[in-house]
């Protein structure tokens, strides 16, 4: 503030001294002019940030990588004076969220609203705000700022891709009998009928029994014979690699980035991001089939989500994956051994890892001996940066008869998860069982 007004203040001091010496009316007029100019500029600056109200509105505090997040910001002048100009500087942590704006001539009892559309490129939990308001006088002598400290949060889920077909090893299921456990989900296994009670869905009503008995009767179901599926995600910091990435959304400018979504999903070129995206896509794919899915990951801490079904389970898994980072210190083999020892016979594990170590395969073999089926999803680290080859690992998995899928940098994750790279090829009976399940 002193840099801007210092020259005028110095000139005023010189003019006052000269007026006292010369007693010249013209010099006194200059003194009065400079003093009035500084006083008016100071008053305008001091009042420009008074009686202001800031409102931020979002339709939802959830978004997803590859989607557009929308926010509306409104500045209201509730005072009786005109605001000559205002600058709103946003300090949100959401990448590429450019919510700042310069506002000119905001009249009394007026408001100014603008929408901010941000293409989400990174998953995580981010803050919206705080906001800093700046203003000053028309001559640039003084400036003032005011911080609006209110903040809210937005969670950006990892991206999910469509998987045309993902075959699980159901060919070894002995008999496929229904599990004798009642469930509130609608399945193909009807266990019986009972009287309708408040809260029962109308699509569960058994109309033939209702017509015969004269009162509403509903069907009860048992769980499908399909086994539970666990997604084990390797978050060991020592095995994840990445390549340099210039975020295209940051380099590009103009309305195309803010108003439209890109036709091709762009992920950060790291094995961590590809592994998380594969896990999220598989969870959505399997839950859409009505399966019970759980997840285990050792990242910043031990994360275990018990198996369940439905949209709520998917939201829970995406919420966890949004903030999960490769900061673990446990080798993947130890995670498989520790978390897999309590799994019941017939459970399926999907192991997602960029590791080329053979140690975790030995742990997977132990689980297979106990009747747990293992499917491997390998994220190829050599497609991101120079790294050890996974060739010996693929051979070991093929010998162990574990279905294996390989995800590479730049390739379609959905296609990679539909085409096994190693392991037993599913036969027609397995495909038919998968369709029925």
pLDDT of residue 189: 56
Q: Across the beta sheet with 68-77, what order do the strands follow?
A: 52-58, 68-77, 111-119
pLDDT of residue 421: 84
> Distance between alpha carbon 426 and the CA centroid of its chain, in Å?
34
Rounded to two decimals, the pTM is: 0.80
What tokens does 196 get?
């309708």
Domain 229-436 has CATH 3.30.470.20: no
pLDDT of residue 257: 41
Integer Cα distance of 122 and 136 in angstroms: 36
Q: Which residue has the tokens 């603008």?
A: 114
In this structure, the number of other CB atoms found within 10 A of the CB of residue 264 comes to: 6
Give yes or no on whether 1-157 and 229-436 have one common fold: no
Task: Tell me the pLDDT of the chain (437 aa) as tens digits.
Answer: 445 667 778 888 888 888 888 888 888 998 999 899 889 988 988 899 999 999 999 999 999 999 999 999 999 999 999 999 999 999 999 999 999 999 999 999 999 999 999 999 999 999 999 999 999 988 888 889 999 999 999 999 999 999 998 888 754 444 444 444 444 555 555 668 888 888 788 788 889 889 999 999 888 765 554 578 999 999 999 999 998 876 544 444 343 344 344 456 889 999 999 999 999 999 999 999 889 999 999 999 999 999 999 999 999 999 999 999 999 999 999 999 999 998 988 899 999 999 999 999 999 999 999 999 999 999 999 999 998 889 999 999 999 999 999 999 999 999 999 999 866 644 433 333 333 22
Integer Cα distance of 296 and 225 in angstroms: 23
1-157 homologous superfamily: Immunoglobulins (2.60.40.10)
Integer Cα distance of 126 and 128 in angstroms: 7
283 within 8 A of 317, measured Cβ to Cβ: yes
Integer Cα distance of 275 and 283 in angstroms: 12
Concatenated DSSP letters of 229-270 = EEEEE--BTTT--B-----HHHH--SHHHHHS--SS----SB
**CA distances (Å), origin 362, targets 48, 240, 332:** 70, 20, 11
For the chain, the structural domain boundaries read 1-157, 179-223, 229-436
Q: Which residue has the tokens 């408040």?
A: 198
Q: How far apart are the first and last CA of the chain?
A: 72
Nearest CA-CA partner of 300 in 272, 271, 325? 325
Integer Cα distance of 92 and 120 in angstroms: 13
Specify the DSSP class assigned to residue 268.
-
Integer Cα distance of 151 and 66 in angstroms: 24
Please state whether beta strands 302-308 and 293-298 pair in parallel, antiparallel, or not at all (unpaired): antiparallel
Helices (H), 49-120: none
In this structure, the number of other CB atoms found within 10 A of the CB of residue 233 comes to: 28
CA gyration radius, the chain: 32
pLDDT of residue 179: 46
């Amino acid at each position: 503030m002193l840099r801007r007004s210092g020259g005028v203040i110095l000139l005023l001091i010189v003019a006052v001294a000269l007026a006292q010496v010369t007693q010249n009316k013209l010099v006194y007029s200059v003194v009065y002019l400079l003093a009035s100019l500084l006083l008016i500029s100071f008053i305008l600056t001091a009042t420009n940030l008074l009686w202001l109200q800031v409102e931020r509105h979002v339709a939802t505090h959830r978004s997803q990588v590859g989607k557009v997040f929308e926010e509306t910001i409104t500045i209201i002048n509730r005072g009786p004076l005109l605001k000559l100009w205002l600058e709103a500087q946003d300090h949100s942590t959401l990448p590429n969220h450019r919510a700042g704006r310069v506002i000119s001539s905001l009249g009394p009892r007026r408001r100014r609203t603008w929408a901010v559309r941000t293409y989400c490129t990174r998953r995580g939990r981010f803050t919206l705000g705080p906001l800093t308001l700046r203003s000053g006088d028309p001559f640039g002598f003084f400036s003032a700022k005011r911080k609006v400290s209110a903040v809210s949060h937005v969670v950006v889920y990892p991206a999910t891709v469509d998987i045309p077909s993902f075959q699980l090893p159901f060919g070894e299921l002995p008999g496929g009998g229904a599990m004798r456990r009642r469930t509130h989900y609608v399945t193909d296994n009807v266990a019986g009928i009972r009287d309708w009670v408040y809260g029962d869905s109308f699509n569960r009503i058994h109309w033939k029994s209702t017509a015969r008995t004269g009162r509403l009767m509903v069907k009860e179901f048992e769980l499908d014979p399909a086994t539970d599926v666990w997604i084990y995600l390797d978050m060991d910091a020592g095995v994840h690699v990445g390549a340099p990435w210039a975020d295209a959304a940051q380099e590009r400018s103009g309305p195309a980035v803010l108003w439209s979504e890109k036709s091709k999903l762009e992920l950060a070129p790291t094995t961590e991001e590809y592994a998380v995206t594969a896990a999220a896509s598989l969870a959505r794919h399997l839950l859409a089939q009505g399966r019970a899915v759980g997840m285990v990951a050792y990242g910043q801490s031990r994360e275990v989500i018990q198996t369940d079904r439905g949209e709520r389970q998917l939201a829970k898994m995406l919420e966890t994956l949004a903030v999960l980072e490769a900061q673990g210190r446990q080798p993947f083999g130890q995670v498989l051994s520790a978390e897999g020892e309590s799994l019941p016979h017939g459970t399926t594990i999907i192991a997602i890892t960029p590791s080329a170590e053979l140690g975790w395969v030995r742990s997977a073999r132990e689980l297979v001996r106990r009747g747990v089926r293992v499917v491997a999803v390998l994220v190829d680290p050599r497609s991101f940066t120079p790294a050890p080859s996974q060739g010996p690992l693929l051979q070991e998995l093929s010998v162990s008869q574990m279905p294996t899928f390989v995800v590479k940098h730049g390739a379609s994750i959905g296609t990679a998860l539909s085409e096994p790279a190693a392991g037993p090829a599913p036969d027609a009976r397995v495909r038919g069982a998968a369709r029925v399940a």
